[in-house]
Structure 1
């Protein structure tokens, strides 16, 4: 299999690539005031992890349509799919008349708080940037991506970043070193709109950023110890109140040696952060009899989204 390459300018003859679309975790997620547009301002540190979907894109100069296939039968492979929408957005912005064959191979659970759909969209934009030799900057790619979903811009600045506003403000940060992550998906989802409504209904007031978070926000480089000390997710209180199983998963991960355990996004995935793979594998083993759950053990990513060239057919 061809080796995975860092994001570099492709050769002019490139007509097909596969982009790897990683999941994300929110190691900090604060939900702040409501915006005039009805959305909420947030403040988060996001981190990509090596649980990846694959987006394979092939140029078809003999056509002018987009054909999308997906190996997840419960995910629509039509115009509503974020991958399709991302491809259409790039073609419209660049006034390109060319056909595309896109194959989406899913591994990231859907509706899980791991950003799978947003990552797939970002991977599509990145892939077309290379295939069509657009030479878009990350900022220009993110501009197109933010129309598709709040998390899309982050993936174009991965692996680690501060994210603010609705998600459109992204500032990369260097988190030194690597951690191993145990992702525990309970087998059910949490509706994001419901989570926001429950949060608004159950908290007395919006709590401003703590001094610890404000100090972190001034940094461009930090250790995992600093991140761990500030870990927090505002969605945990309302989501755990409705889904006690998630609180139990968090407690078990901590008991099994996690430095932190936290809900990712609005859920329903709960993750534990571990200093090394051996400890993470020991924690994974504790969930082996939970047949309804999906458990993944992966390292944090240390570089941007990657791609590989596919040989000519």
Structure 2
């Protein structure tokens, strides 16, 4: 079977504090994108062990890979005796703040759960929170206000039609390093999360949503990767008003209802040597 693993975009992030175990409490608004990886999952004879491969040679596919952790978690929790060959076809850039690894892990959990009776998405999200903070969101594949350390989700019904330009610098950022520096320098302001949640239900235009886009990790991320600010400044110069950085970086995004405008901007960034993607907001089929 072949399954899609959808990228995540953070419209706003407010970091509220740090737990003793190193995890951070957050309040954020996340949306799924149509940009996705593919997972090809083939069941093996039980005498073989599960193994993972990827078309991206830079992707580590050992026990540290979130897909491997997801498989072990499902196997132990549900007493599974099946083995699989899992091939990951990457489209979501790594170390970009787009939850590519978490999305792949969530995709595997959803796929395996189809052969288990009476397993809900809420069950998988509760289980998946131990793998990574973005896994519960990726399990649901729906826009949401995400709180706690990623395990508390309030799904947001919306019909957003924005196209999305993703621009990624050459340098990627490790989430752990960004949060480590955040603990030292913090954030400049606090986003108005309730206002952002409210406006998502009203089919906003770029100019309406733009003032509410704020990532509390951007100050830290731009300290580590100054190119992030260069990208955001260039987006504004090109007339893109609804722009921000996603997750812990280093990818930046711009929302627009005008796909041609984003295509023109992408050409500019490509000439500057950046990796670009044009996609749109993903909505699950009813």
Please point out which of 60, 63, 87 is paired with 2:44.
Answer: 60
2:203 paired residue among 214, 218, 223: 223
Cα separation, 2, equivalents of 1:109 and 1:27: 18
Ranges in structure 1 where 5+ consecutive residues have no aligned partner: 1-16, 307-313
Which structure's residues are more often helix, by fraction? 2
- Counterparts of 2:49 and 2:130, CA distance in 1: 21
Change (3 A) 1:82 1:68: same
Report the TM-score when normalising by structure 2: 0.91
Partner of residue 133 from structure 1, selected from 90, 112, 116: 116
Trace 1:291-302 onto structure 2 (pairs within 5 A): 291=273, 293-302=274-283
Query: What is residue 58 of structure 2 aligned with on the other side?
Result: 74
Q: 1:45 to 1:224 in 2, by over 3 A?
A: farther
**Cα distance change on mapping 1:222 and 1:92 into 2, 3 Å:** farther
- 1:71 Cα shift? 1.1
Preserved contact between residue 172 and residue 220 of structure 1 (Cα < 8 Å): no
Q: Cα offset for 1:49?
A: 1.1
Matched residue SS, 2:271: coil
Q: Secondary structure at the match of 2:269?
A: coil
Q: How far 1:227 sits from its partner (Å)?
A: 4.1
Residue matched to 2:77? 93
CA drift of 1:181 comes to 0.8
Partner of 2:217: 235
Residue-by-residue CA offset, 1:68-103 (whole Å, 9 max, x unaligned): 121111212222211111112111111111121111
- 1:268 pairs, out of 212, 234, 250, with 250
Pairwise CA RMSD = 2.2
Distance change (3 Å), C-alpha of 1:77 and 1:217: same
Residues 1:277 and 2:259 are matched in the alignment: yes
TM-score between both structures, scaled by the size of structure 1: 0.84
Are positions 1:252 and 2:239 aligned together? no
Distance 2:84 2:103 in 1: 19
Deviation at 1:62, TM superposition (A): 4.2
More displaced, 250-259 or 138-147?
Answer: 250-259
CA displacement, residues 211-241 of structure 1 (integer Å, 9 cap, x when unaligned): x423455788343446433110011122223
Aligned CA distance change for structure 1 residues 288 and 91 (closer, same or farther; 3 Å): same
SS at match of 1:84: helix
